[in-house]
Amino acid sequence: MTPTTNGPLKLEGNVEIVTGTGHTVDRTQRTFLCRCGHSANKPFCDGSHKRVGFVG
């Protein structure tokens, strides 16, 4: 897991995103998770951090 400069968290490796009830949302080798809280596609980043001027 690597935080990008003023952007999302970058996850690399065998990644599985699971809901609180155990439902698998995504399985991938790399993904970007929202850190700014403004993504319309949470938990994934949709680039909203650029629009809102997120500073991390």
What does each of the 56 residues of the chain score in pLDDT, given as a tens digit? 999 999 999 999 999 999 999 999 999 999 999 999 999 999 999 999 999 999 98
Closest among 17, 9, 3 to 34, alpha carbons compared:
9
Cut 0.85: pTM above it: yes
Report the pLDDT value the prediction gives residue 39, as an integer from 0 to 100. Answer: 98
Beta carbons within 8 Å of 17's beta carbon, 6+ residues apart: 24, 25, 26, 27, 31, 43
The first and second tokens of residue 21, run together, are 């009830």
Residue 28: predicted pLDDT: 97
